[in-house]
Structure 1
Amino acid sequence: MSTEASIAGLETGKLFSFGDWPNEEIPMVSVGVYTVWLGEQLLYVGYSGRNLRPHEIKNAKKAKGLMTRIKSHRSGLRGGDQFCIYVCDRFVVPKLDSEAIESLANGGQLLDGLTRRFVRQELSYRFITTDGSETARKIESQVRTGILNAGKPLLNPA
């Protein structure tokens, strides 16, 4: 598949809900690029599998790369996941009312839980696999500059 066809798949390929898990279509171990959507709006692009080598992909015993990155995003845990921080800051916090803020202050709920709920109920993703991390990085960079018809991603434009 050409790079252009791969890039197009990030906008027009099969759409998966973060709420539907596990996703058997994501290879257990892979290098690739993914886009995150809120309806028709492109929110985010990322890639995963930076340090995976071909022999590691072939011989891996546990999930690495795209599978673990998508799983991390759907967890809603903000610690160590920049995507979840962006989602919380831009979509969760602005919608908090005084009752929700009081519940957070009293420990009745956590922002991670609210972020997880938003991600799983509202967001979807597309992904492609690539032959290596250099290709994935280049595609991610192109998408961040606005190469897709959807324009630049809202949360991480170049």
Structure 2
Amino acid sequence: MVDDLVMALSSQLKEIGMEIIPKGVELAVFPDELQTDFTLALEMTYGISWDPYTTISNMTTEPLKDLKLAQALAFVDDGSELIRKLNVMSNDEEIQETYSFILNEIHDQAIFIPISYTREPVVFNNKKIKEYAFNSSPAYIEVAEISLI
């Protein structure tokens, strides 16, 4: 899914004169890659069960939790303080306004492109398993959702 998106994005950018060279890397070496010269980074978010809370909470630089995500608010004054305040807010309207600000900021600055709602394939032996029903978090297999023949 992400590879297809990267190739489509690369093709579309090339049409308007921007050439990017896609390079997939393993998660373990990604921090080292961030120290090199790159233009764009794409990554899947934590998923339905944790978005947007975990993704945005990890954008803080103090303490640094995720080097890639920390760059998302690099140009926001006191970005880490904004996230700290967000994590203890109790007013729903204030929480929504803060999430909206952060998501609009990373969109407007094109600093980080969070990718959510990816598809997860399932492969099974249909002679033994009747069907599988995905739960609210498709990345995790819910054994109770497997129907045997």
Asked whether the two chains share a fold, i.e. TM above 0.5, the reply is: no
Structure 1 or 2, whichever has the larger Rg, is: 2
TM interval, shorter chain, is under 0.3
Q: TM-score under structure 1 normalisation?
A: 0.27
With CA pairs under 8 Å and 6+ residues apart, which has the higher RCO, 1 or 2?
1
Higher strand share: 1
**TM-score under structure 2 length normalisation:** 0.28
